[in-house]
Amino acid sequence: MNMSKSLLFKVCIIAGLFFFSQVSFASQPQQVPIPTDGSSDPGKIKPLSVEYVSASATISDIELAVYFDFSVGNAIISVYDLNNQLVFQEVVNTDFTVDKFIPVDAWQSGEYMLTVKYGNITQRGIFQIQ
pLDDT greater at residue 23 or residue 5: 5
Q: Nearest Cα to 77, choosing from 123, 36, 109?
A: 123
At 116, the amino acid letter reads: V
Evaluate if residue 99 carries a pLDDT over 50.
yes
pLDDT in tens, 75-90: 999 999 989 999 999 9
Characterise 110 by phi-psi region: left (phi > 0), alpha (psi -120 to 50), beta (else): left
User: What CATH number did the domain enclosing 22 receive?
Assistant: 2.60.40.3080
Highest mean pLDDT pick, 34-43, 94-103, 114-123: 94-103
**Dihedral of CA 52/69/119/48: which sign?**
positive
Contact 76, 91 (CB under 8 A): yes
pLDDT at 89: 97
Read off the pLDDT band of 16 (50, 70, 90).
very low
At 53, the amino acid letter reads: V
DSSP state of 36: B
Distance CA 97, CA 106 (A): 24
pLDDT in tens, 102-118: 999 999 999 999 999 99
Residue 70 lies in domain: 5-129
Contact 115, 127 (CB under 8 A): no
pLDDT at 29: 55
pLDDT in tens, 42-74: 443 333 334 456 888 888 889 999 988 888 999
Count structural domains, the chain: 1
User: What average pLDDT does the chain have?
Assistant: 74
Q: How many residues does the chain have?
A: 130
Percent of the chain past pLDDT 70, that is, above it, reads: 59
Distance CA 21, CA 31 (A): 11
